[in-house]
Structures are given as C-alpha cells and as structure tokens.
Chain A
Amino acid sequence: MFPPIPNPSTEPVAPTFGEADLWRRSASTIERPAERQTEVAKLIDVSKCIGCKACQAACLEWNELTEEIGSNVGVMTNPPDLTENSYTLMRFTEWENPESGNLEWLIRKDGCMHCEDPGCLKACPAPGAIVQYSNGIVDFVHENCIGCGYCVKGCPFNIPRLSNVRDRKAYKCTLCVDRVAVGQGPACAKACPTQAIVFGTKDEMKEWAAGRIEDLKARGFANAGLYDPPGVGGTHVMYVLQHADRPELYAGLPRDPRISPVVEAWKGVTKYAGLTAIGAFAAIGFLHHLVTGANRVSEHDEEAARRLTERGEK
C-alpha cells in the first residue's frame, strides 16, 4: 500500500507555493523562480479502479459543485461527458480481449492531465488566466478568464469546459491546488477506496507505477505500462494501463498527444508574421507618401471637366 497522506491538523497552514512559484503564465512573459519546486503527480492505476465514482463525488464535494440531474444514456459513464461542474469523469469501456477471450471493463478516470507543456495555456489570450506552478500544477485563474474558449482548442485531451450557466468562464480539474498547497492530496485521491488514485512527487509516482506494472506483467498483462506522454513534455497526471500499447482502448485516450500544429502555427508564426505584415503595410504607405507626395487634382483637370460638362450639356 502506498503511504496515504495524513489527515490535516486543525491549525491554519501557510501555503507552500503561490504567485512566486509561477513557471508559466498565459499571455505573459514572466521571470521564473530561481528554483523549481519538486514536481508533483497524480497516478491513476486503471487496473485497480472498481468504478465506484467516489472520486467524482469527492471532486464535486470539495469544489462545492452540484452536477445537473441528467438522463440515463445506457452506459455507466455518468454524466455522459465532462461538464463545467464535473472536472473528473469515469469513462467506462467494455472490451473483449481477443487473446484471452475475457471481457475487460476498462474504467479510466478522465480529467485534466496537467501537461508539462500545456496547450490550454499556450492558446489562452488573457494574461494570467491560466498559470502553471513550478510543481507542475496547471490552474485556471477565473478572475482573469474571459471565456473565449481558446483553451478548449489548445487542449490535446479535450478537457476544459465553458460554463453555460455560471459565468461563461472555463473550468477544469485544479489538481486540488488549494489542498496540495497546504500539504494535502487531491480530493479524488483521498476518496479512492482502492488506491487506484495516489498522489505524491512525480518521481515517487513513477517508482510506484513501476512496481504496479511489474505486478501486472506477472499477471499476464504483457503490455502493461505507464502513460506519461512525452509529446506534451510529460504530464502531472499519469495512468497505469493494462494495455499501454493501445491507449485508445481507454475511451479514446490519445496515443501520442501533442499541441496541435494548427494551434502552434496560430500562436507562433502567425502572431509575429501577422503584426509584422500589418506594420509593413503601414510603413510602405508612409514611405510611398514621402516619395511621391499627394496625388492632387490640378486646375487643368478642373478646366477639362468644365469643358466636358459644357459640351455634354448642350
């Protein structure tokens, strides 16, 4: 068993990170802190998940949110998709393993992966609406969010949701930044009865995952492995998958997620080339006027018009 995070004391605790520990800040250039905090991570071991949805309930509870009463769409996944309230969602997949003939119930807890290179943050136009702390947590700062939905386009995992009833701002898992800052783990990890969700430093989580993978391999899951996709610089939420060679099995978990090249082009070369082009056109106009001077009508032109008009009038 992974040693659980002890319960908090009743005394107020000073946060262990904050504004001074920003590693990235949307639409801003910042000076990074001299020292990076130890990276944290949440490890979700799909093979240990029993699908109880305690994590979903704990998430709503901690964030003081209530999910709308929906309707049964015929699957266990409920609500059917992430929402502005449900920052995390158990996605249920029934899969018949052709090798063993077994029906496998693959239950993946979906939510923000807290990418090392966050696409949402790259796409965000509002200064400081998305921040990444040096410990790897990516958080939305709602007082700065303008609700444009660019983060939705930037995210390789299709995570952020815009609020349609509250304030039209974007919401997603915070990795319980407010709990982690005072030495606690995420609410979902706290609630998980089987330790399918554990939380610690990224190194600890990788080490713990290695042991789990070894165990799974010994039980016949030859392709068991860790999901920590390098395309986004690794993530601060990782999965242990029984079939790590086929992540798509798990409700479409992307095989090689990366920030879309379209988004990279939009937020990269287009941004600079665009302003340069606009500046160049203005400068060319200015220079043209300096060189050629105004294009003026002469008295000769007016006279010609008078003659033409008189001829036409008769």
Chain B
Amino acid sequence: MSADRPRDVARGDAVHPGNPVIVDRYTVPARMNHWLTAICLVLLALSGLALFHPSLFFLTGLFGGGQMTRFLHPWIGVVMFVSFAGLFLRFWRLNFFDRGDSAWLGKPGEVLAGKEEKLPEVGKYNAGQKLYFWLMSITILVLFLSGIVTWQQYFGDRFTVDQKRAAVLVHALAAIVAICLWIVHVYAAIWVRGTINAMTRGKVTGGWAWRHHRRWLREVVTGKTLPPTTAPEK
C-alpha cells in the first residue's frame, strides 16, 4: 500500500467536481476481475444446484448434459478460485474492521431501514460489506478445498472414502452459505440505488458517496486518512 494514499482509498479512487460530482470507485481491471468471478459464481451455482437436488437436474441442460456439467463444474471452480484470489488481494486491506464498524453493526434497525444519517460515517466499505468479504473468502476457500477432495477424476485415489463423504457434505453446506451470501450481496446492490454503476461503469455520484460512504469521500477529496467515528456527525 502506498503511503501517499489515505487508508480507505484504493488505487484509482478519484473525485471529479461537477454537477453531479463523479467519484471513481473501481478501476477497469478491478471490474473485470469482479465480473469474471461473478460469472463463475453464477455458473457454479447453477451447475452445482443441478447436482444437488433432483428437481434441479434439468439445469444440466444449460451445460450440455449431466456429464458435461460434472466435467465443467470443477474447472469453473478453479477459474473462480484464481479469480477470487485476485479480488482478495485487491480488497483485503480495505476490509479490516475498525471501531466504527462495531458501532455500525450495533444499529441493525437503522441499517435495514436505510437511515444512514443515524449511523457513523462509513469508509470505502461498511461493516456489512466487510463481513460479506471475509465470509465469502472463507466460504470460497472451503469450497475449493472440499471440491478438490470431491473431484473424483483427478483426486479420487488420493483421499479415503470417509474424507470424500465429509467433503461432499461440507461442499454442499458451504455452497448454500455462498449462495445465501450472494443473494444478500446482489440484493444490497439493487436496494442501494446507484451501486451497480460502481461495478459497471466504475463510477458513482458524489451524492451516493456522501450518503453511503462519507468518510471514504472525505478521504478521496482531502487526501488525508480520517479516524473512524462511532457516532454520526452532528
């Protein structure tokens, strides 16, 4: 991390005065990295669910049949893992928890009601996004490792049957967690209008940044690291 950037500001974050103010939030490589991961995750969820519950087996049709689904799923998983590792390396520093996050998490009512004026000012990510980041990181690591043990074609001889049984159960449970987390992630992006633009165009409006990530906006504008606050600015 370069020393001349404030703590909650990532490379490429910049503000463009105007009407409205435009703030750069994600660089092109970051967005490509995100969407590759997203596409993989959706394909993995569809192909995985197809083999998870018989009523969803028809989804194998999207992948060219049952055998192709069985063949493709682990390879997509490998791409996903590498791609997610890229996201992890990009974003992990911005996802450390601070004092402000516990204060933010302590007011779930206000968070869910969207009353952000009653919450402490948020940096690049709020505590919910940070939780999503870490939970998804753990879940994807678990999915990758348990997926390796389940991958009969290449690793069928390397593990005992008890290990494989545990792996398929863990894999299924972790996948359910991942899909539920993903639903929260997508829903939040839809609910908080203007968010999807950050990942499609890389930009948000100044008002969006002011409303949802005010401390981040302040850091981008001033170029100085600001201490996290635990109460809303008066």
Which residue numbers of A lie inside 8 Å of B, CB to CB?
A: 27-28, 125-127, 144, 146-150, 152-153, 155, 158, 162, 168, 260, 262-263, 265-266, 270-271, 273-275, 277-278, 281-282, 285, 288-289, 292, 294-299, 301-306, 308-313
Query: Contact at B180–A153, with CB atoms within 8 Å?
Result: no
- By the criterion CB–CB under 8 Å, are B152 and A278 in contact? no
In the assembled complex, 19 residue pairs joining A and B whose CB atoms fall closer than 8 Å, in A order, are A146-B60, A146-B67, A147-B70, A148-B152, A149-B153, A162-B156, A274-B172, A274-B173, A274-B175, A285-B184, A288-B191, A289-B190, A297-B210, A298-B207, A301-B206, A302-B20, A305-B206, A305-B207, A308-B221
Q: Which residue of B lies closest to A162 (CB)?
A: B152
Please name all residues of chain B whose beta carbon is closer than 8 Å to the beta carbon of A28 when the two chains form the complex. Answer: 54
Cross-chain contact B183 with A278 (CB below 8 angstroms): yes
Chain A hits for B209, CB < 8 A:
305
Using CB atoms, name the residue of chain A closest to B187: A285
Find out whether the CB atom of A308 lies under 8 angstroms from the CB atom of B218. yes
B192 touches A146 (CB 8 A): no
Flag whether B76 is at the interface (Cβ < 8 A).
Answer: no
Contact of A266 with B169 at beta-carbon distance under 8 Å, contacts A277-B176, A297-B205, A310-B17 already known: yes
Docked pose: A35 CA to B19 CA in angstroms: 79
Q: List which B180-201 residues lie within 8 A (CB) of chain A.
A: 180, 183-184, 187, 190-194
* Main secondary structure on A side of the interface with B: helix
Contacts of B165 in A (CB 8 A): 153, 260, 262-263, 266
Kindly identify, within residues 137 to 166 of chain B, every residue whose CB is under 8 Å from any CB belonging to chain A: 150, 152-153, 156, 161-162, 164-166
B54 touches A152 (CB 8 A): no
- Within 8 Å CB of A312, what residues of B? 15, 221-222
Q: Given A270-B173, A275-B53, A305-B207, do A147 and B67 touch, yes or no (CB 8 Å)?
A: yes
Considering only CB atoms, which chain B residue lies closest to A308 in the complex? B221
- Complex CA–CA separation, A304 to B209 (angstroms): 10
Mask of B196-233 contacts with A, CB within 8 angstroms, 1/0: 00000000011111110000011001100000000000
In the complex, A274 Cα to B191 Cα: how many Å?
24
Whether B168 and A266, one on each chain, are in contact in the complex, defined by CB atoms closer than 8 angstroms, is: yes
B164 and A152 contacting across the interface, CB-CB below 8 Å: yes
Q: How far is the CA of A297 from the CA of B193 in the complex (A)?
A: 7
Q: Are B112 and A288 interface neighbours, CB within 8 A? A: yes
CB distance from A231 to the nearest CB of B (A): 16
Interface pair B54/A301, CB less than 8 Å apart: no
Given the complex of chains A and B, what is the CA–CA distance between A188 and B132 in angstroms? 58
- Asked whether, in the complex, the Cβ of B152 is within 8 Å of the Cβ of A281, the reply is no
* Bound CA span A29–B96, Å: 49
Contact A302 B205 (CB under 8 A): yes
- The answer for the CA separation of A309 and B184 in the assembled complex, in Å, is 32
4 A-B pairs with the lowest CB-CB distances in the bound complex, closest first: A305-B206, A149-B152, A302-B207, A146-B66
Q: Which residue of A lies closest to B23 (CB)?
A: A305
Closest A residue to B183 by beta carbon equals A281
